[in-house]
Amino acid sequence: MNIQDELQVTIDALVQKGKGILAADESSPTIAKRFQAIDVESTEENRRAYRSLLLSTPDLGEFISGVILFEETLGQCSDDGVMLPALCVQQDIVPGVKVDKGKLPLPNAPGDEITQGLDGLELRLKGYKQQGARFAKWRDVYHINEVTPSLLAIQANAEVLARYAAICQAQGIVPIVEPEVLIDGTHSLTRCAEVSEVVFHEVFHALHRHHVVLEHMLLKPNMIVPGKLNPQQTNPHEVAVQTVRILRRTVPAAVPSINFLSGGLTPEVATANLNAMNQLDPQPWELSFSYGRALQEPALQAWKGDSANNQITQAALYQRARLNGIARYGKYTEAMECR
């Protein structure tokens, strides 16, 4: 099988009606914060136990087509001794991996950041692929205030995302491109839309420059929402209308699926927003999800590091995956949260 065919097989497996992607790729500092909130120490064994529990949730593959893993997880086993990427495959879930190395301040652009990790990426991808990963994810972030993001940050981050995507495709790895305009701050819905349009537009210019095959990538963007500190919040329909408006201006129809990040939204709001988008007129791409906290938060609160809670933990994850699967068809209602 040549590389293009290999990429297409992975895309077909990831982009399925009624399914989305579970992001379980929290970095060590991030998962330590999540565990601290439930009074659990972030040891390697606790991380392994928790992620193994998530991935072994019965019938999770009904609504989850892929899972983004942290590098550490690729080499870990379930309680039954099954490698965690293989456990995903047993569930008909495609294993993927986060490949960026985190953010740094961008020189000469106060308040802006850039993501690192391109050095040695090709070699790392070869290793990840041998461990079972078939797709990758790279996240760049954009802060909104009166002066950010700067044009320098917009252009530099777009270039990094495009270089990452090109390197992935050369290795037969499907890239998820994640430009995240952050929800932090007091900015309005309109300001988020303005910034997101410029960011997404620049990202696709860069992808074209680097000859990235759009049919063999996924986009993981933010939704168009006001800053979480803005007192004037909005409803899912307005979020849906504004988000789709900006995406239609910036994202080519060749991209097979747009898998939204939840980015600090509550599980219920993230699901309602996705549902509202799928109630609009049909779009040229699938509108799906790639949620981390919005899928995991109820499960994490149920688990609390206690194996006695394993069954209710898995039930909580399955429920959120099911509700987002329903939202993929635009058939979710708030009443379903109580079922």
Q: Please list the active-site residues.
A: 178, 220
| Joined tokens for residue 187 | 């900015």
Which of 180, 182, 97 minimizes the C-alpha distance to 137? 97
Q: Among the residues of the chain, which ranges form H helices?
A: 3-14, 28-37, 44-55, 71-74, 84-90, 121-130, 151-170, 189-209, 236-250, 267-277, 293-303, 310-327
**How far is the C-alpha of 13 from the C-alpha of 230, rounded, in Å?**
39
Q: Is the dihedral of CA 233, 237, 238, 240 positive or negative?
A: positive
**How far is the C-alpha of 94 from the C-alpha of 87, rounded, in Å?**
10
What burial class does residue 150 get, using C-beta atoms within 10 Å of its C-beta: 0-12 exposed, 13-18 middle, 19+ buried?
A: middle
List C-alpha distances in Å: 304 to 43, 292, 301.
14, 17, 6
**How far is the C-alpha of 73 from the C-alpha of 71, rounded, in Å?**
5
The separation between CA 22 and the C-alpha centre of its own chain, rounded to angstroms, equals 7
**Type of residue at 241:** V
**How far is the C-alpha of 32 from the C-alpha of 275, rounded, in Å?**
31
The residues that bridge with 98 in the sheet, in sequence order, are 137
Q: Is the dihedral of CA 321, 96, 284, 260 positive or negative?
A: positive
Collapsed DSSP state (helix, strand, coil) of residue 29: helix
Collapsed DSSP state (helix, strand, coil) of residue 253: coil
